[in-house]
A and B are shown apart, each in its own frame.
Chain A
């Protein structure tokens, strides 16, 4: 197997090379910092930690070019030269080392090859390792995201009390960037935005559940196969439309329509309303409900349907009394998934429901949701450690937790349902 012998040499030399390169890239920033700190003049260090950090960070970005190090005028010409050379040699040295190791490994691997060497099985082992590493990357990333959410949230709660966040009814996250700025109180009562999320989710489910469920019943029980083959994909296209398209549909068509209708009935309606966002989001979520419900209802064994029909039940009686109850756990799972989708939806709400954190249950007024607030908190200029920015992480963690619980519930109910007929 000459192919496998070649592959074995390539894998066993290039793989460590790639690993070393990754190591190099990830410790590069740290090394730069250490080198730069050693070159900073004492006068600067005396100015305090913030000045040092600032100088290090701008020097780090300019370290590749001697001219730009000099133009920063932080270091003397001598130390600038020395810094540039240090880093240049460090980098060149490290890369040379990698090349040497790679060549050496290739040599070792080549020496290992002979007629009796089982390259095929060794390649298999290496490939297994590669696949393992890739799967680990996905898992570690997930943990990384959760951990960063948790750490930033802990920082947030060191500045804002836990009870204020969870039970406060006033949300206005603007904090002062400068001392004594007007309107800089900054309060972080998250109740209004959670009720806003709840309101919009509720409206969208009021649309999506009946529409999705009834179309699923039609498609799985009544429609001829031909009709089903056309209808199902068309319905599923709804899930493929970019949410930003739904967003401007909600903001430009549905919102004004609701407003003018409401006004002709003598109601005050704001152009940006929970109703507009909820309605359009409901339409978007229909396929989440219908597709999965359709699947679980189709999966109800034919024998149950026949059993009911043979007892003299009509088709709708059979659906209501046998198929629907049998499929209910799966349908509940579908609805839970749809809810977590609705809670996580951002774009439609940004465009159609507004930004005002009103504590209200009136679907005709503007409300805001958790996701929208996260977006507004992080857009634009701000300090990274202000409570305003950190609040986004706290909101994100709560959101993550809610959708996680919903997804687990959905998974458990769907699985329970599966066990039943096997």
Chain B
């Protein structure tokens, strides 16, 4: 625990966006068994913006991300308290349909994880699952549209029947983004999506994130502060399970209010 940090938090303070608040988290605590991973985190995320979560390893940023689509439910020992609403709806309400919730929130993982199926089937996986598209032509349109949006169509339009695992790392990650887009989510969560990729592939993904924010709300966990500075409008800094500071990306990197944030973004620790 870092002393006095809680008093310094201004959960939704000093940002100059016109966008609406979409996700609102209040007093979120997360435990893995007896170990507490998040301490009283309150954070708001705006619609159609990129919010980046930064902080040293093990600071709880990925844990926080996984709370937003309830992926922490998969872990038996994990328990969550506090309140998270999306569009005013409490996502931890016992009556909520988790499967439906996850279909509204796409997720892209640290390591590209295409299914061992063809490129086409990878993208069509979600729509097929939810039975949204029955027509074959419509499905190919959907797949094409998703791949186009993920900036992958021109590269692999002739390789739709090859296994997704045969693509390069960067292509695989964009395939995973296309797969997430194909379910028409409102929100896309990205957990260090570029950490396994080379700089060129990373640049492509960053470009893509920038384009996607016109249609989607994006929350991205990243270890690279340059990346956070390049792609996000708002940045939240986590440390040891606490949300230390959140604000406009520019402010966080130029004139952070908290000493720890300053130390971290200027590279003095972390």
Chain A residues packing against B (C-beta within 8 Å):
224-225, 301, 303-314, 317, 321-322, 325-326, 420
Interface of A: prevailing SS: helix
Docked-complex contact A311 and B126, CB < 8 angstroms: yes
Q: A312-B102, A312-B126 are in contact. Are A322 and B107 (CB under 8 A)?
A: no
A312 touches B129 (CB 8 A): yes
List the B side residues contacting A326 at CB < 8 Å: 115-116
CB–CB A312/B116 < 8 A: no
The complex places the Cα of A204 from the Cα of B58 at a distance, in Å, of 51
Q: Which 4 A-B pairs have the closest CB atoms?
A: A312-B103, A310-B107, A303-B113, A312-B102
Q: Which residue of A lies closest to B109 (CB)?
A: A303
B109 touches A311 (CB 8 A): no
Knowing A224-B76, A306-B74 are in contact, say whether A311-B179 is a contact too (CB < 8 A). yes
What per-residue 1/0 map shows which CB atoms of B99-121 lie under 8 Å from chain A? 11111111101010101110000
Q: Which residues of A contact B179 (CB under 8 A)?
A: 307, 311
Bound together, the chains give a CA A114 to CA B179 distance in angstroms of 75
What are 25 residue pairs bridging A and B, where the CB atoms are less than 8 Å apart in the complex?
A: A224-B76, A225-B76, A301-B113, A304-B113, A304-B115, A308-B115, A309-B71, A309-B74, A310-B106, A311-B107, A311-B125, A311-B179, A311-B180, A311-B183, A312-B100, A312-B103, A312-B130, A313-B99, A313-B125, A314-B99, A321-B129, A325-B117, A326-B115, A326-B116, A420-B116
Inter-chain CA distance A420–B69, complex, in Å, is 29
Q: Is B84 an interface residue (CB 8 A)?
A: no
Asked whether A306 lies within 8 Å of B109 as measured between CB atoms, the reply is: yes
B176 at interface by CB-CB < 8 Å: yes
Pairwise interchain contact A311-B74, C-beta atoms closer than 8 A = no
Query: In the bound complex, what is the Cα–Cα distance between A317 and B115 (angstroms)?
Result: 14
B102 contact set on A, CB distance < 8 A: 309-312
**Could you tell me the distance in whole angstroms from the C-beta of A320 to the nearest C-beta in chain B?**
11
In the complex, what distance in Å separates the CA atom of A93 from the CA atom of B165?
Answer: 73
Q: Which of A225, A307, A312 contacts B99 (CB 8 A)?
A: A312
Query: Inside 8 A of A314's CB, which chain B residues have their CB?
Result: 99
A305–B109 Cα distance when bound, in Å, is 12
Contact across chains for A313 and B129 when beta carbons are under 8 A apart: yes
Which residues of B pack against A, CB within 8 Å? 69, 71, 74, 76, 99-107, 109, 111, 113, 115-117, 125-126, 129-130, 165, 176, 179-180, 183
Chain A residue at minimum C-beta to C-beta distance from B107: A310
* Contact indicator A310/B99 (Cβ below 8 Å): no
Taking A309-B74, A312-B129 as known contacts, 11 extra A-B pairs with beta carbons closer than 8 A to each other, sorted by chain A number, are: A306-B74, A306-B107, A306-B109, A310-B71, A310-B102, A311-B179, A312-B102, A312-B104, A313-B129, A321-B129, A326-B115
| Distance A290 CA – B129 CA, assembled complex (angstroms) | 28
- Nearest CB in chain B: distance from A332 CB, A: 15
Chain A residue with the shortest CB-CB distance to B121 = A321
CB distance from B17 to the nearest CB of A (A): 27
A131 to chain B, nearest CB (A): 41
Report chain B residues within 8 Å CB of A310: 69, 71, 102, 105-107, 109, 180
Complex CA gap A361/B163 in Å reads 42
Chain A residues with CB under 8 Å of B104's CB are 312
Distance, CA A322 to CA B111, complexed state (A):
17
State in angstroms the CA–CA spacing of A321 and B125 once bound together.
9
Q: A225's closest neighbor in chain B, by CB?
A: B76
Q: Which residues of B contact A306 (CB under 8 A)?
A: 71, 74, 107, 109, 113
Alpha-carbon separation in the docked complex, A12 to B109 (Å)? 62
Q: Kindly report which residue of chain B lies nearest to residue A303, judged by CB atoms.
A: B113
CB distance from A307 to the nearest CB of B (A): 4
Residues of A within 8 A of B130 (CB): 312
Q: Specify which chain B residues have a CB less than 8 angstroms from the CB of A311 in the assembled complex.
A: 102-103, 106-107, 125-126, 129, 179-180, 183
Chain B residues whose C-beta falls within 8 Å of the C-beta of A321 in the assembled complex: 125, 129
Q: Report yes or no: A312 in contact with B183, Cβ–Cβ below 8 A.
A: yes
Most buried by B among A305, A306, A307, A310: A310
Distance of A235 from chain B, by nearest CB (Å): 22
Query: Which chain B residues lie closer than 8 Å to A312 at the CB level?
Result: 99-104, 126, 129-130, 183
Residues of A within 8 A of B109 (CB): 303, 306-307, 310
Contacts of B117 in A (CB 8 A): 325
In the assembly, what is the distance between CA of A317 and CA of B131, in Å? 13
Chain A residue contacts of B113, Cβ below 8 A: 301, 303-304, 306-307
Asked if residues B111 and A325 are in contact (CB atoms below 8 Å), the reply is no
> In the assembled complex, which residues on chain B have CB atoms less than 8 Å from the CB atom of A308?
115, 125
CB distance from A194 to the nearest CB of B (A): 37
CB-CB < 8 A to B103: which residues of A? Answer: 311-312
Question: Shortest beta-carbon distance, B123 to chain A, in Å?
Answer: 11
Q: How far apart sit A322 and B189, CA to CA, in the bound complex (Å)?
A: 21
B115 pairs with A307, CB closer than 8 A: yes
Considering the chains assembled together, what is the distance between the CA atoms of A312 and B99 in angstroms?
5
Residues of A within 8 A of B111 (CB): 303
From A225, A312, A326, A420, residue with most partner B Cβ within 10 Å: A312
Inter-chain contacts of A304 with B (CB < 8 A): 113, 115-116
